[in-house]
Structure formats: C-alpha cells, structure tokens
Amino acid sequence: MNSTATISNATSTITNATNDAWQVPYEQSLNGAVFAGAVAWGIHTFVFIRCLYAIDSKWVMASLKWLPVACTLFATATTNVFCSFKFNELAWIQQRGYPGGPIAFFAEQQSHPLHVAAVGSATIALISSYAFMIYRNHSLWNKRFFTIIMSLSLLLDSVDAFGNFVKLGGTPPWDGVSRDFTKPAYSLLVFPQMFLCLSLLSRELYLCKRSKWDLIVVVRGDPQTMMEYNERYPFWIESAIPLWLLTVVTTFVRVKGTIASPVTISLFVQVAPTMAELMITHMVRDSGSSKESLAL
C-alpha cells in the first residue's frame, strides 16, 4: 500500500512538473510583454512631452489641430499599459492561488474589465496611428485612389476589431475569441502598417534624393548647409523605419508561431503612436517633409 501510494505521488509530481514546464515559457512571455510595454511607454512619454512642447511653441491653429490627435494617441497607449500592468498584477499577486496558476487566470479571465479595457485602448491607439499613417502617405503622394483603398481597409479592420472586442467580454477560452481577436489585431498591426511604411520609405527616398541633388546644385555641396538639411529632414523619422522594422519582426514571430507574440504586440501598441507623435512634432516645427517643403 505504501509503495503504491509512493508511486502514485511520484507520478503526480512528475505530471505537475511537466505541466509547469510547459506553462513557464508562456507565463514568461505574458509577463515580459507587460514590462516591455512599460519600457516602451516610458520612451513614448518623453516623445509626447516633446510633441506638446512643439505645439505650445507654435500656438497657432495649424499646430493646435494636432493636439487632440497626440493626446488621443498617448491617452489610449497609457490606458493600455496601466490596465495590462494591473491585470498582470492580479494574475501574479492578488490571485496567485488561482486554480491552474497565472496561465489559467490569463486564459479564463479574458472578459475581466481590466483586460477588456487594455484590449479596447490598444485597438483605438492602433486605429488612430493607422489613420495618421494614411494621412502622411496622402500628404506625400496625393493619390486619392490609394488613400481611398487604405481608408476602406482601415474601416473594415475597425469593424472587425470592434466585433471581436464585443465578443471578448463574454468568451473566456484561449482557443475561442482570444485566437479570433488576434486576426484583426494583426491586420491592424502588420499588413497595412507595413505597406504604409514601405510606401513612406520609397517616397522619402525619392524626395530626399531629388531635394538633396537640387541643394547640391544650388550650394555646391556646402557642408554646413548639407548638415542643416539632414537635421531638418531626419529620414529615419519621416520614413517610419523603426515602425517598419517592428512590423517585420512581428510578422516573423507570427509566421513562426513563437511565444514571443505578446511581447511584439505590446511593443507595437506603444511604438506605432510614438512614431506618429514624432512625425507630428516635426510637422509642427515646419520640419516635416512635404511636397511644398521639398519644392516639388
């Protein structure tokens, strides 16, 4: 009897250890996503303050119109990171005795108000940054057909995301609405934004090449003037290269199906609004590239 009980206990211990070993990477990914988002939010806060300062420095209607946009981007991204942090605290501290551990809490409490608020605010932040990227592409390309197509894509993605967001409030399991919700999330995150970033990148390459050539012809390559030009048109900001790189990483992670997906999503929710606010800052300072500023 004692040997049977010992074997049974040992088998149970091995089974629990196996289950724990399977859960640990996912729990680490979910926990790491929150802290990665918090770090990105710190950088986002610095950029937002600079954006507000730029708008305040030029207190005119042309600058003030960007104030609601910047505030919306920052407010939604902030709501997301704080709600995610609190939801993470529930799983790891306040509900540490939850049956099945933190991974079970994350899986079964999808309809918790904090999680719903985090997802909803992230969706609004991504939709807002997506809309701004469409605007920037339109201001540089001025192609109405392209703008209409991308706007319709934004509308469809928004409706899809809203529908899944409504279902999120009442469906708990991982394989249910959680998986369904990743479809509009990734459609808002990756494919349209990657295309818009590539569009900006190609246009900026052309504009910078043409503008710099005209400048060289006029000033004959004066180093001081060229340095001022490079400061006026920071290519990495105007072309949203950091955002494009993150979309590439996010796509790779998604295709491979790795457990790092929560980390990339958490970063993207902060990086996309941050790049939009950087562009707004340079636009307000009359430093953002445009057809007029580049004399096209």
CB 271 within 8 A of CB 265: no
Q: What is the signed CA dihedral for 8, 12, 13, 18, rounded to 10 degrees?
A: 140
Domain limits of the chain? Answer: 27-284
The total of other beta-carbon atoms located within 10 Å of residue 150's CB is 21
CB 30 within 8 A of CB 260: no
Average pLDDT over residues 86-102: 84
Distance, in Å, from the CA atom of 179 to the CA atom of 261, rounded to the nearest integer, reads: 12
Listed residue (285, 246, 239, 286) closest to 267, CA to CA? 246
Average pLDDT over residues 69-97: 91
* Amino acid letter for position 219: V
Which pLDDT value is given to residue 151? 81
- Which has the higher per-residue pLDDT, 133 or 159? 133
Neighbouring C-alpha atoms within 13 Å toward the C-beta of 212: 17
pLDDT digits (tens, 9 = 90+) for 193-207: 778 888 887 777 776
CB 76 within 8 A of CB 44: no
- Which has the higher per-residue pLDDT, 171 or 147? 147
Distances in Å between the Cα of 295 and the Cα atoms of 161, 215, 283 are 40, 11, 16
Q: CA quadruple 77, 82, 88, 91: dihedral positive or negative?
A: negative
- Which has the higher per-residue pLDDT, 102 or 234? 102
Average pLDDT over residues 73-94: 91
Structure tokens of 167? 């279902």
Which pLDDT value is given to residue 1? 46
Which pLDDT value is given to residue 191? 72
Least confident of 85-89, 115-119, 158-162: 158-162
Distances in Å between the Cα of 94 and the Cα atoms of 97, 102, 158, 191 are 8, 11, 34, 38
Distance, in Å, from the CA atom of 17 to the CA atom of 101, rounded to the nearest integer, reads: 13
pLDDT reading at 140 higher than 70:
yes
